[in-house]
Each structure stands twice: as structure tokens, then as C-alpha cells.
Chain A
Amino acid sequence: MLTIRNLYARVGDKEILKGIDLEVKAGEVHAIMGPNGSGKSTLAAVLAGREDFEVTDGSVEYLGKNLLEMEPDERAREGIFLAFQYPVEIPGVSTINFMKTAVNQVRIHRGQEPLDAVSFLQLMKEKMKLVDIDQALLSRSLNEGFSGGEKKRNEIFQMAMLEPRLAILDETDSGLDIDALKIVANGVNKLRSKDNAIIVVTHYQRLLNYIVPDFVHVLYKGRIVKSGGKELALELESKGYDWIKSEAEVA
């Protein structure tokens, strides 16, 4: 589904991604871990099409297409979803209104009829239940004054609404209490299918108890320096990153 080859990206003069290789197949869940500032969010942003980052080398193929040539909205309509580490506030625009615009643009792209108010509401109610989110919250200005946990839950709600092919979750677990974590994980697991793939960026093994990954990768200084199965996350949890850092420096 997604093939990243030798990807380099920079912002200004600063090189952040330095040769990423990653293959994600339909049906898989990949976890990306790594110390602060190693480039995890940058990778997610590059995949989503954020233009602050300049891709200087490498390629990304998504469902047989050159992803790097696509505009961010086109990527989204083709099924890429990014749950933001820091969701953005949009005053005066409710989540409901926002999602109505988004869902219908995506539907039109897929050759489906836009949803009328009634069917939209129905879809919304269904997804609200899934992530246990209150309608009052969805009527408020998007992310404005939301608590950290509410923002994250709202991201997952949006993901559920848009039913992406490839979801990238950037530290969606940070700031969630245990119950919310389970709810979010449950929402993500509902999306798991043989046709979809998920990339989970996280610092904590805890989330991976609920969203069990097929692969775990460690990103360090803009490179994937180690990959393994779900045990790797447990190992990192107990040993920290130092051993990986020294391994990486030696190599």
C-alpha cells in the first residue's frame, strides 16, 4: 500500500529525515517509536503533504501512485488520514460543520452522492458512539478550548467519520486517561481490516497492548535504525533508547 524509499526531507537548512525506508502493506499495523525530535512527526507530516518540509530525495508510492506529487487534500480524499499530535483550533467552525464539508468532499471524490442532513446526522451518531464523544462537544468551535484528551478523541472521531485506507496516528495516546485510551484504541481497531493499514506513532508500549502492532520501528536522527515485532516495544520500554542509540552510532 505504502512504499517509502530513501526519503530525505528538510526544513530550511535543517535536514530532518535522512533516508527512510518503510513498506506498509494492506492489513498491517506499524508502530513507530523513537526519542523526542527524531523526526516521527515530520515523517507523518511529509506523508500528509505538509509543504513546510521539502523532500530532497527518495520516493513514496501509495496505492500505486506517486504520493509526493499529490496535494494534501487529494491525499486525504485518496484515503490518507493524519491524527495530529497537536490538533488545530478553528474558531467559529463546529466539528459537525467541518466534518460535513470534509465527508461530502470525500464522497464526491469517490463518486458518491453527498449526504443530506439526515443521513449525515445518522452517520455522526453512529461514530459518536464508537468513540464515546458528546454531541455538545461537536457543536463547539473545533478544538477551541478542548481539553487535551477531548482533542485526541475528536481526532479519532474524525478518522471514524472519514474511514481512511491509511491512518497515521501521531501520539494520539499522549494525554489520554486509561479509559479514554481504551476507547481510542477500540476506535482504531474498528478500522483494522485487510484493506486498511495503520501507522501508530507513540512513546508508550501501553497503547500497543490495545492496538497490537505487526511491526515496530525505531526512528532515530531521521533514520529507521531498528525494526522488529511487537516484542521490540517491550524491550524499549524496559531498556530505553540508549542501547539503540549506541548501536546506531556504531553503524
Chain B
Amino acid sequence: MQVKIVIGTVAFMLTMMILGFAVLREPARLSQYTDAAKGRSIEAGAHIFENNCATCHGVDGDATECYNSAGEQVGCQGLPLNNYDLLCGDPTYRMGTLNWAGTKEDFVKTTISAGRFGTVMPVWSEEFGGPMRPDQVQNVTDFVLNWESEDLCANEPVRYAWPEAAADYLASADGSAGDATNGAELYVTYGCSGCHGDTALEGSNAVGPWLGDIADVGNTRVDGLDAAGYVYQSILDPNAFIVPDCPTGPCASPSAMPGTFAARIGSNPTDMADLLAFLLGN
């Protein structure tokens, strides 16, 4: 019996020592698992993004390279998410433009959950009739926020103030020398051709109207705007006027054309003049 008491006591003391050891390493372990939970959420979010969001926001999240479900390259309809305006600073630039008072995470999460009314950004959360569970919304939110990095946030982008009227722009230093050859290239690299097709080939357009005759048609769309003014406005604010006919029926409102070109072309403002020269010179 004495032996048993000794064995029992030793086992008990060992257990206590092990527990003591466990307690000592606990703070480090806890933070390790908190990070792991976040890491795994980001991984799950990456899968969700790849399957649901990349068609509009681009495979790298910068809205430059988008594919439809058949694997063909299409124009990106979404805003860039791997992007200074969405992720850098607090409040971020985007939060400011939309008067968002909550946190950055809530901004992204709410946008994903509820979609954005008046744009093609869909509703995603089950709560609002979308397809995703709350945990999936959280996963993809974590993934989007994970694009924030020192590199991305090192330089604030130059924001170009587009003049109200096309004429003012065309008269400025940036707008005066349009190069149609370069415009033809930009028409492809900005992804216009993905939706509007080849300007030399009527009927090659998949999503938006064919632009081969926009130099004429543009004069008739909106009262008081000539073709240059109309194309200028169509690029900067697609929702200002919705074209009646698209290849697959009446054009949808809100416009399927992304509202991001104002910002994207703004980092290289002479591109606008080149595009105009290309489209109108045709």
C-alpha cells in the first residue's frame, strides 16, 4: 500500500508539473492559434474569391485580368480590391467617398454581404438573399483585407480631376494630342474589346454595344453632347446614360460597364485622348 501511495503521489506531482509547464507556454500558444484561425480563414477566403469574385475583380484582385466561366478573357466589371483606395489608411479613401463611419473591416464585409445597390456588385450573404454563409463572408473579407501591405500602401496614387466637359479636357495639356494608334492598343489593354469587340468587325461585341460607328451614333445619344462629349462621359460615368440596345437585348441598368475607368485612366490621363482619337477617328 505504501508503494501505491508513493506512485500515486509522484504521478499527481508530475501531472501538476506538466500543467504548470502548459500554463507557462500558454500565452505563446494562444496567440499562435489566434493567428492560425485567421490564416485558415484567409485560405478559405482565397478559394471563395477564386470561384466567385475573380470574374469581376480580376484574378489578382486588381481588376485587370478577368475570365468568364468558360475561361475566356472578359472585361473586368468590378473595382480593383487589391488597391490603395480600398485598403490603405484608416479611414480609407473609399470609405471617405461613401461616408462610411464604421471600421474598414465592416466596410468591406458589409459591401460583400449586401452587395452595392445600383451597381452590378451582387449580394453575397444569405442574410440578404445571397448564396454565402456568414462564415464564408468573413473568410473572403479576411482575404480581401489581407492584400493590404507596406508596398501597396507606400505611395498614394495621384488622383486626376477630370474636367466636367470633354471640351475642357481636350483643350488641356493632357487632352490635346490624341494618338489613335496608341488608342487602339489601349482599347485592348483596358479590356474595352472584351465587351465591345473589335471596332472593325460589326457583331464581334459580346456585352456592350459595338463601337465601330460611335463617331456618328455618339452625336445622337444625349441632347447637347457631341460624340466626343458623349464617349468621354460614357467612359467616366457609365451610368449617366444607359444605351438602349446591347448584344443580348436591352442594356441592363445599372450598367455592366465598370465605373473604374475614371480612376484607372486617371493615373495616365493622356490615355483618354488616345482612346477618343481611336474611337472617334474610326
A binds B: no
